Structure 1
């Protein structure tokens, strides 16, 4: 549960900088206590991973992963993926990045997978998650639609409502992944290499 013991101090700090996120997290906790059976698949903990693909005219493609825990950026858990197998194809680059991330069983699965993208990316990843039997909510943020949240077809109304309440944190996570990826891509173009996930 996300409101036990040692997390109270962190939530107190977060309440000053992002009260909407705290309210949403508390709501998740309250609803979970009411009826777990009605909320299968909803985020009930505190880890969000956001993903972004960055490239320069289809070259120097980099995948970036940001991590937020309890609404706060966990920069030690950020990861970069040097895309190896595809060129100028964001969907296949995203597939490679997410597949490689899922190969790391030692990394805890997040309660939300967040993608910088719209319906094509979400539908593509939904099929990948189904094939790999990953039962976690997938969400996208579409810049082209004014930062609208995008969901797979069968996402429940309750999940969508909670995601809307968490939207300030989701936007921060998306922006961090974008910033982190662009920073790494520029560094790669300048010096030719950077530290990435090897597999």
Structure 2
């Protein structure tokens, strides 16, 4: 491999490097890492430039039998505790097997709660979270963290290569839509309703062809629009969401000019106009968007299109026939990706609201548990199942709770 690299045969050097790594991994998987024949998972992670990768080593009967890497979305700026806690609950809620021991790089504030939840996932058998300071477990954790860092490095190289595709897609999209420049900032809007309830709106933002999650926004739909009876609910909901978004673009922030008050970061986001608005829907939804942009005198400043669901046709304001992009078009792929991300974001928010509503409904039935205690319980334990599994002492330790209220919860749920 070294000889190939020195002679500038870089492709051959890369292939040899991959073969070496594969051979090392094969040997490593057969390595006996413990003489105690126990089952355990070891979890470590690496973070760089806002990206997070978690590496899990699976040890069964004392042998390292495999590993998995997970790149976490939306974990930028999160504390170590938050990353580990979120990963543990997400990973083991779907895992086919929960081992009796899970090895972590640091202790967690919510360790006892998570252990109790894992115990329920293991059918009542004990599960412990351990943090080794030395020995083979510590060495394996360091290896897992190194692997996570290497995975991030490789992914960043791949993402850099993908940027070339994004540049091409944006240029192609700008040309196809007749824009003066490639759209640097694209905002996409979608309405999500599950079984006719919990209607929500989703706004996702792509900057230079990649998701800008810090600017994503969720909307709880409050009303039914302004056209009166007979208007479809999704049109009215779209109108409400777009009005709330673009009103903030033209109106000054609430604290503007207040003594000693600096503009808030969120206010600056709302005032940034997109280079392109994509509406998930056809002519009807697009017409609603046009009305809202005209209402705020933004129609001549903000290009807007509708992307119809069925045939992926692109609709323009004041134009009868849609644009049909080639099926292998990078511009179409980009529009589909943005629209699908808006749909995913909206559906996720909808499910969160429905889940919280279910938890609130159950807790409302418990004597002595009012809105404040309910809020603190959800903040502390996250979901209803964890609340049910918590001990009286853990429940009573939550802000605003006491032993009597904790006992009322345990009595209500029959534990």
Report the TM-score, using the length of structure 1 for normalisation.
0.72
Q: Aligned pair 1:120/2:284, yes or no?
A: yes
Stretches of structure 1 lacking an aligned partner (at least 5 in a row): 1-11, 32-38, 194-199
Q: Aligned pair 1:48/2:186, yes or no?
A: yes
Match of 1:95 in 2: 239
Once the two structures are TM-superposed, the CA of residue 133 in structure 1 deviates from its matched residue by: 1.1
1:13, 1:63 → 2: CA distance?
Answer: 32
Match of 2:307 in 1: 141
Greater displacement, 108-117 / 12-21? 12-21
Contact 1:122 1:150 in 2 (8 A): yes
1:147, 1:45 → 2: CA distance?
Answer: 19
2:335, 2:173 → 1: CA distance?
Answer: 15
Deviations 1:35-56 (A, max 9, x none): xxxx7x6455410001100012
1:28, 1:183 → 2: CA distance?
Answer: 28
Once the two structures are TM-superposed, the CA of residue 179 in structure 1 deviates from its matched residue by: 0.2
User: 1:143 is paired with a residue of what secondary structure?
Assistant: coil
Once the two structures are TM-superposed, the CA of residue 191 in structure 1 deviates from its matched residue by: 0.8
Match of 1:35 in 2: none
Once the two structures are TM-superposed, the CA of residue 102 in structure 1 deviates from its matched residue by: 0.8
Over aligned residues, Cα RMSD in angstroms? 3.0
Once the two structures are TM-superposed, the CA of residue 115 in structure 1 deviates from its matched residue by: 0.7
Task: Trace 1:1-199 onto structure 2 (pairs within 5 A).
Answer: 16-17=161-162, 19-26=164-171, 42-86=180-224, 89-105=233-249, 106=268, 107=270, 108-134=272-298, 135-144=301-310, 146-154=311-319, 166-192=331-357
Contact 2:201 2:237 in 1 (8 A): yes
Rate the CA distance shift 1:118–1:81 in 2: closer, same or farther, 3 A: same
Stretches of structure 2 lacking an aligned partner (at least 5 in a row): 1-156, 226-231, 250-267, 361-415
Match of 1:3 in 2: none
Once the two structures are TM-superposed, the CA of residue 110 in structure 1 deviates from its matched residue by: 0.6
Report the TM-score, using the length of structure 2 for normalisation.
0.36
Structure of higher CA gyration radius: 2
Greater displacement, 175-184 / 101-110? 101-110
1:54, 1:24 → 2: CA distance?
Answer: 27
Greater displacement, 104-113 / 174-183? 104-113
Tell me the matched-pair count.
Answer: 168
User: 1:52 is paired with a residue of what secondary structure?
Assistant: strand
Higher relative contact order (CA 8 A, sep 6+): 1
